[in-house]
Structure 1
Amino acid sequence: MANPLLVAVFSYLPSFRLLLIFVSVFLIVKTVLQKKSYTNLPPGPWGLPVIGATFRLGANPGRSLYELSRKYGKIFSIKIGPRLTMVINDVELVKEAYGKKADATSARELYPLNWMDTSGALISCSGSDVKPLRRFLLRSLRDFGLGKKSSELLIMEEAQHLCRGLAQTDGRSFDPRDLIQMAVANIICTLCFGQRFDYTSSEFNQLITSLQAVSHVSGFTIARDFPLLFLAPRYKAFREGGALLRKMMDDIMNQHKLTFDPQSPRDVTDKLYQETTSSAGKNQFSFGDDRVFRTMIDLFGAGADTTSTVLQFAIWHMALNPKVQNKVLIEILTKVGIKTPPEMADRARLPYTYATINEVLRMNHPVPVNLLHRATDAFDLAGYTIPKDAEMIAPMWSMHMDPDVWENPEKFDPERFLTPDGLSVTLPDGFIPFSSGSRMCLGENLARTELFLFFATIMQHFTFHLPPGAIPSHSGYFGFFLWFPNQFKIEATPNF
């Protein structure tokens, strides 16, 4: 006897096939008509309905976009999912688009994750709040020491905590990623939440683990346009990490509200609460408590992830390039010594060390495809017309690995950032690790200070080696817009 369920399913197959044919034809016609509606677009690869040319990005979108740029030029168009995207691979064009034409290019719509309550209010926001919020946050960070001796001392002290943590490995091979991320995260936690965590704190370890579960997720380029994909089993860790991150950040923010004194702000969170609850703040910002939370999530995520990733790659490169590592060590021991901690005033005296940091940033930028912008008006660029609502990407990978700009770009060579006499650092025009224009990285000053002080301090104390039998690797993986080193182990040998 036939199964009634199967009979019912097969009875609907003709109708389903007709529906599928209708939807396919509709999407194809829509794609063709939409393409015809655009005029004077930059050239670019063909794509498919709905998914566009996303399949061309592969596991390493930074390198893939770079390879496409070698074929289609300094600016090309591509469909990423259903969205028309302009890929700008030239520094001067980036400065023109994001600087001179910022009024038409400063909007952002990064990810539709409001349903997970993990989307931010700073990195992805657009509209009238952007400029006053950025100005306010910069002012608040400066109020709590950014760019001053107090923040430098804070980072110098945390660098010593990191060295003590590295010393506890006793020469054994270990994965340094969590330890480095906790050290960097403590800086942003102190500035934003007035709180430093011990590396052994279970709460802190949970916070770092949840952040990693969100930021290390891959496949974002397609899932952002089809958010139901985040319900798939492969995103289980992402969902659980996002929920835990939300809960822990909620706990921190709620504790702040309970002890908040508008007359005596303790950190950036208090300053933002003070501003949004005052009459002046209500005129300046159009958001309340929830957007305060989202702003702090953005600051924490960006502050804890990007700089720590660069430092992880830095240690990795030192182990892979012992001659470079030895030059860094000799320079530090000669110019600073073994007893005095490096400080920012030493940066001019340590040009090779500073150049090495810049070379790590060039080769392994933590955001290799950069963040998306959206055109709020049509504008002209390089002889092409960029239509309204088109997205824009300026991939760091393409600009920092361009053989027309950088000699032998695949080679790790800090000397490319030195003057011919080797006595000072020069930053080429093609080097824009913090992007450009009105939405360039808000934390550039903090990041540069952290990178120099953390790197110089750990290099003063340790020499890094690959464990015996380890196979050298230059690979990494692409996560939530970020580029991370593959899991690796290292040995840290004390220098004294």
Structure 2
Amino acid sequence: MIFSLCCLVVTLIMFLILNKMKRPSKYPPGPTFIPIVGNFLIYRKRLKVLGYHHLVWMELFQKYGDVVGLKLGRNLVVGVCGPLAIQEVFEREDFDGRPDGFFFRMRTFGKRLGLVFSDGSFWRHQRKFSIQQLRNFGFARREMEEKIQEETASIVEIFKKHNSQPIDMHNVFGISVLNGLWAMMAGERLDSDDERLKKLLEIINDCFRIVDISGGLLNQMPFLRHVAPETTGYNKLKEILDRMWEFLEETITEHRKHLELSEQPRDLIEAFLQQIHINNDPTFTDDQLMSVCLDLFMAGAETTSNTLGFAILAMILYPEVRKNVQEEMDREIGRTRSPTLKDRARLKYTEAVLMEIQRRVTIAPLGIAHRAVKDTEFNGYEIPEDTIILTNLYSVHMEKSYWRDPFEFRPERFLNEAGNIIKHEGHYIPFGGGRRRCLGESLGKANVFMFFTAVLHNFNIEKFGEEELTLEGFDGVTMAPKPFKAKLIYRKD
């Protein structure tokens, strides 16, 4: 009897394992699933060779086509490449979901909260409220530019004090960039000399390197955190989150002490706290407030500052481009005032340079992961509900048939014969697209333009050190420039 029962249990386990390794009907092509781990081992093997997640997917696309289906641990993951297929993902409501799982919930107290990895009516409601409140406090308005101008003036003065001295440039913009957003979120300016904050930004950058946008090992096989907490990145991520939560909790607690329900809110945190006290909307909770702040803080601290790091790096690698930008600014706005956002329309070559930097680098090469909210058909394939969808933006920005010489840094590709900007609709999508397009796009663009022009308007840039520099950065959720030093030499009027 016991022997028969054991045989039945083993048979059931084998059946479940074999069923799990079976490819879903009409699932996109890809390598054969292996029991339990799926394609994880072969994926990690190729990642070790190629060094970047987006390049592993590019290799798979070359072998299997523009839509590739994998199984990484317990997750079905479909990669999509090329402008047409990616645009369809952006436009289809079937793919408007965000992935669920241990990694994504770990960030938000084991729940589906925040703005980046929530979806459905909850996400729409919270996103609408957050954007409206941020606009009330200056987002995408004149007040936003004034805050950025304050920060650019401050960092220029810091650079002047270090005139011709080597500066670590790969992460120097972090706090200054974050301040524009933080002023709208928390109503105050962060101290650029705060060592605790510098360390916090450093570990946030590390966090973006630990996993890929699909959630990595923690999401694919979360049980491994119990046996390999260091290898899976669990310990590091937990440390980062603990410190982030502590920092944000201090800020929120200070706001709560001085909260006046009858007065107009002064920032996003205060507006959210008022909504919690109204207590007629269950989506407004302390955990959701912390999660929204976490999303905005981490996004604001990472992508824009990395873009600026790559921009400075590009100006070292291509000094003739730097000279062209400076000559355009000197010609169009002169040397007696600083550039403003209104100057963007006149500084067309400068705008083309920034667009080329974002094309060539692609800060988020796999975008932000989507999720199929139901069983659906795509390009002749069947995509099961809850499948993670990765849009390979790198494939669009580096498409040889369209760009001809994608690895060449050539800003002129964004200018027509009359010197006006070419938008390259569908082929240039650094901020994603559709309803899940980056909500901080306007702030990101403004920051990149204002900081970039402020630096080049005031300084020449020279390489420091003997190490070879390249636009190939560190891999992760986002691309980050590898550490480099530069000398900023003040341009006298």
Normalising by structure 2, we get a TM-score of: 0.89
- Aligned counterparts of 1:259 and 1:247: Cα–Cα separation in 2: 19
Does the C-alpha gap of structure 1 residues 254 and 351 become closer, same or farther in structure 2, counting only changes over 3 Å? same
Cα deviations by residue, 1:398-440 (Å, 9 ceiling, x for unpaired): 2211112222111111111111222334343211111111111
Does the C-alpha gap of structure 1 residues 238 and 84 become closer, same or farther in structure 2, counting only changes over 3 Å? closer
Q: How does 1:20-169 map to 2 (within 5 A)?
A: 28-32=17-21, 34-35=22-23, 38-54=24-40, 55-56=42-43, 58=47, 59-99=51-91, 101-102=92-93, 104-109=94-99, 112-113=102-103, 114-115=105-106, 121-169=114-162
CA contact (8 A) 1:165 1:179 kept: no
Q: Residue 452 of structure 1: CA displacement?
A: 1.1
Cα deviations by residue, 1:229-262 (Å, 9 ceiling, x for unpaired): 4563354444323221111111111111111223
SS in 1 for 2:265: coil
Does the C-alpha gap of structure 1 residues 386 and 238 become closer, same or farther in structure 2, counting only changes over 3 Å? closer
| Partner of residue 3, structure 2 | none
| Partner of residue 268, structure 2 | 268
| Partner of residue 5, structure 1 | none
Q: Residue 118 of structure 1: CA displacement?
A: 6.5
Paired AA for residue 245 in structure 1: M
Q: Residue 226 of structure 1: CA displacement?
A: 2.8
Moved more, 227-236 or 207-216: 227-236
Moved more, 305-314 or 411-420: 411-420
| Partner of residue 10, structure 1 | none
Q: Residue 302 of structure 1: CA displacement?
A: 0.7
CA contact (8 A) 1:109 1:126 kept: no
Cα deviations by residue, 1:145-192 (Å, 9 ceiling, x for unpaired): 112111111111111112122223231222123321111111121111
CA contact (8 A) 1:180 1:311 kept: yes
Cα deviations by residue, 1:58-80 (Å, 9 ceiling, x for unpaired): 13101221222222222221223
Q: Residue 225 of structure 1: CA displacement?
A: 2.3
Q: Please, what is the CA RMSD of the aligned residues? A: 2.5
CA contact (8 A) 2:303 2:363 kept: yes
Does the C-alpha gap of structure 1 residues 195 and 402 become closer, same or farther in structure 2, counting only changes over 3 Å? same
Q: How does 1:41-440 map to 2 (within 5 A)?
A: 41-54=27-40, 55-56=42-43, 58=47, 59-99=51-91, 101-102=92-93, 104-109=94-99, 112-113=102-103, 114-115=105-106, 121-218=114-211, 221-227=216-222, 229-230=224-225, 232-233=229-230, 235=233, 236-262=235-261, 263-278=263-278, 282-283=280-281, 286-440=283-437
Does the C-alpha gap of structure 1 residues 115 and 304 become closer, same or farther in structure 2, counting only changes over 3 Å? closer
Moved more, 299-308 or 230-239: 230-239
- Aligned counterparts of 2:397 and 2:81: Cα–Cα separation in 1: 9
Moved more, 52-61 or 321-330: 52-61
- Aligned counterparts of 1:438 and 1:150: Cα–Cα separation in 2: 26
SS in 2 for 1:388: coil
Q: Residue 299 of structure 1: CA displacement?
A: 0.8
Q: Please, which runs of 5 or more residues in structure 1 have no aligned partner?
A: 1-17
Normalising by structure 1, we get a TM-score of: 0.88
Q: Residue 228 of structure 1: CA displacement?
A: 5.0
Q: Residue 140 of structure 1: CA displacement?
A: 1.1
| Partner of residue 14, structure 1 | none
Paired AA for residue 266 in structure 2: R
- Aligned counterparts of 2:418 and 2:359: Cα–Cα separation in 1: 22
Does the C-alpha gap of structure 1 residues 71 and 115 become closer, same or farther in structure 2, counting only changes over 3 Å? closer
CA contact (8 A) 2:171 2:306 kept: no
SS in 2 for 1:174: strand
User: What fraction of aligned residue pairs are identical, expressed as a percent?
Assistant: 26
CA contact (8 A) 1:65 1:398 kept: no
How many residue pairs align between the two structures?
470
